[in-house]
Structure 1
Amino acid sequence: MEVDSVDNSDMYFQSYEDLEIHKLMLKDSMRNNAYRKAIIDNQEDLKGKIVLDVGAGTGILSVYCAQVGAKKVYAVEASETYNIALETAKENGFQNVIEVIHKRVEDLTSADIPEKVDAIVSEWMGFYLLHEAMLDSVIVARDRFLKEDGLIFPESAAIYSSPCSIPSMFSDWDDVSGVKMQSFGKLLRSEACKKPLTELIDPENLLCEPEVVSWIDLREVTQEDLNEITFRHVAVSTKVAAYEGICLWFSCTFPFPRGPVNAEPTILSTAPEEPSTHWKQTLIVLPDSIGMEEGSPMCYDLVMKRSQENNRRYQLEVTMLDAEEVEHPEFCSCFMTKCILVKAVLEKYEQGDGDVAAE
């Protein structure tokens, strides 16, 4: 499955000149508040320091950094939206702190940023985290301009996966105001199978505990690391339900505050059980509904692969696997005989260790 995307960098940046896109992001209070809290929590490490805002857009993150006392903020924006960032800086009285640079990060030179920066801030995340591949620009900025001990906001991210039910694609069409519309629902699914959907999913429609598809450390990750991500999930249904798709979402973790002893890092999560964000969740729709019992195994391979024709586009490929033919985890709780026996042996072994320890 392939997610539609822009054809080249010029079109990508032009797409961000649409005010409706920025309105959507600026109305996302979960997004804004996570960045604001993380920046405020780390203000002691930002006060009097140099910050680079990668893909500054309308400039809201640059202003957050200026508000906590950053000495200088380089707000880099390649689209014509840079004009809005200029006005935002002036409107908030930070035109002498925030320097807006109308360039691609990849085209920056020492003439644009003549010093190493103490921190990088960027809202680079796309649908299912990697859509649009803006993380590439953050990596370039990190390698060229960030001090060795500099901060990155956010500093890590994780992609999650769980099988799910999708009533909006299946059961909702069994009765539409007293009329069966299953044939129409089948047509919808046929279209949906060609590319992932971006929708909100009820957490009750997740069929099992999620698994981490990939964890990304922004201090270490390279562009090559992002070319292909592969993941095998041997999931076990925790309920009687219909298996109709695979749900993807992500979370981002910001730098750990160095202040109060009990301080915790800010986490921005797009999980179904969290308040909704403009990213929502990504759904990969199966062509048919599969009935699941509690304990039923669900096995699939997921590949997230960068397109060779357009490095801002990813293909999401799902291969359904036969549960009889793949290796299950040691403590697999599915109802297959081999897993029940292995689990029983392991539990007996652990209980034996406990008895020995008690003596």
Structure 2
Amino acid sequence: MEVDDPNDLYFKSYEDLEIHKLMLKDEPRNTAYREAIFNNKADIEGKVVLDVGAGTGILSIFCAQAGAKKVYAVEASSTYRLALDIVRENMVENIVQVIHSRIEDVTTSQIPEKVDVIVSEWMGFYLLHEGMLDTVIIARDRFLKPDGLMFPESAGIYATPCSVPSVYKYWENVNGVHMESFSRLLREQAYKKPLTEKVHPDCLLSQGEVVSWLDLKEVTKEDLNEIKFSHVAVATKESTYEGICIWFTCTFPFQKGPSSVEPVILSTEPDEPETHWKQTLICLPNSLKVEVGSPICYDLVLKRSEENSRRYTLELSMLDPDEVEHPEFCSCYMTKCILANAMLEKYERGQGDGAE
């Protein structure tokens, strides 16, 4: 039986106008890119830009408006036709050249020069879903000048334990009906397949920790095959531990100097304005009560699928706090950490007392 090419299915999915409508109505997303581009106007004026996965062409048009000399807008799906219309509608067709192709198939006659800037909105759920960063890496290695800029230039994945009332608490009373049986099936499903939904900041049980930090000028495709993260989180409130919340941030270049501004950061953290990415939730099969100071230990693995390189499996393993090494200055309530912190504090005070 002939199996559809995952890449063909991926590009086909982006012919759906509803997907582009969702992205174009994402105000934090659009604002972050526009501000980042215009804040770096001096590095874009008169320069050559490559827009990878241009979609409707909005980022290409931002660059043209910021003074780019030439913008190559590469789009593999049939959405390129819409991009052509929007480019003409904004009267920048003398600057923006829409190319209907995959980056891997672009020829030197289509892009005959190295570019000064690469701009791309490649992020998927939990950052890596859809695997489009692979394409950006290929574009970087083929077309970007050694001193060129990337928008964004770095990205981070974060995680923290959380409660998940939409899967647990809500089903305790649905208009007077207890639905634990339904909730149990929902949890089993949500444990096998992560959820995408808005998480209220009050549901987070501790500070977010960096799972992975990617420098987009240096990262390789091989670096993305598997990301492993082990963590001892410490609960900052009395609540229920019901899952792991995952989000990402992207940081854009910024001009350094007397008139420099803070770098633009696009964040999908729960306490930031909602984006179409929302947050990713891995749910536990059972709810666990935690107190202030409770250690929550887990391993998280993001692994590229062997069948479809555009997809990842997310594996969560709960660990026994007694059997894992806790970080220095761990603030959990376990005796070994309390004693270790007391000894460290005593040692530091001793150093201070002996100082001349």
Q: Could you report, residue by residue, the CA deviation over 1:6-55 in whole angstroms, capped at 9, with x for unpaired residues?
A: 96100000000000000000000000000000000000000000000000
1:236 to 215, 234, 237: 234
Match of 2:166, SS state, is helix
Matched, 1:120 2:146: no
Per-residue CA distance 1:297-320 (angstroms, 9 max, x = gap): 111111100011111010111111
- Consecutive unaligned residues in structure 2, runs of 5 or more: none
**Native 8 Å contact 1:42 1:258 kept in 2:** no
> Alpha-carbon deviation of 1:262?
4.4
Q: Structure 2 length normalisation: TM-score?
A: 0.97
Q: Which runs of 5 or more structure 1 residues have no equivalent in the other structure?
A: 1-5
- Report the Cα offset of residue 186 of structure 1: 1.2
In the alignment, what sits opposite 2:246? 248
1:156-202 Cα offsets, whole Å, 9 max, x none, are 00000000000111111111122211221112112212200000000
Q: Which of 305, 309, 313 is residue 307 of structure 1 equivalent to? A: 305
The answer on whether the counterparts of 2:254 and 2:260 sit within 8 Å (CA) in structure 1 is: no
Aligned pair partner of 1:26 in 21, 24, 27: 24
For 2:170, the equivalent position in structure 1 comes to 172
Q: Deviations over 1:100-153 (max 9, x none)?
A: 000000111211110000000000000000000000010000000000100000
SS at match of 1:232: strand
- Which secondary structure does the structure 1 equivalent of 2:91 belong to? coil
* Partner secondary structure for residue 113 of structure 2: coil
1:209 & 1:258 partners in 2: Cα distance?
A: 30
Q: Please identify, of 171-180 and 146-155, the stretch whose mean Cα deviation from structure 2 is larger.
A: 171-180
After TM superposition, the structure 1 = structure 2 runs for residues 204-353 of structure 1, keeping only pairs within 5 Å, are 204-258=202-256, 260-353=258-351
The answer to whether the aligner puts 1:140 opposite 2:138 as a matched pair is yes
Q: Which moved more, 1:271-280 or 1:340-349?
A: 340-349
Amino acid corresponding to residue 78 of structure 2 in structure 1: E
Higher relative contact order structure (alpha carbons within 8 Å, sequence separation ≥ 6):
1
Question: Which residue of the other structure, out of 196, 199, 202, is the alignment partner of 2:197?
Answer: 199
CA displacement at 1:353 relative to structure 2? 2.2
1:263 is displaced (CA, Å) by: 1.1
Match of 1:156 in 2: 154
State how far apart, in whole Å, the 1-side matches of 2:56 and 2:266 are. Answer: 20
Write the distance in 2 (CA, Å) between the matches of 1:37 and 1:351. 47
Runs (4+) of structure 1 exceeding 3 A deviation are: 258-262
Q: Is the 8 A contact 1:7 1:310 kept in 2?
A: no
Residue number in structure 1 paired with 2:10? 12
Aligned mate of 2:49, from 40, 48, 51:
51
Q: Alignment RMSD, CA only? A: 1.1
- Secondary structure class of the residue paired with 1:160: strand
Q: Secondary structure at the match of 1:193?
A: helix
Letter in 1 for 2:76: A
Aligned CA distance change for structure 1 residues 51 and 259 (closer, same or farther; 3 Å) = farther
Q: Is the 8 A contact 1:229 1:304 kept in 2?
A: yes
Q: Which residue number in structure 1 is paired with residue 129 of structure 2?
A: 131
Number of residue pairs aligned between Structure 1 and Structure 2: 353
The share of aligned pairs that are identical, in percent, is 68
Deviation at 1:93, TM superposition (A): 0.5
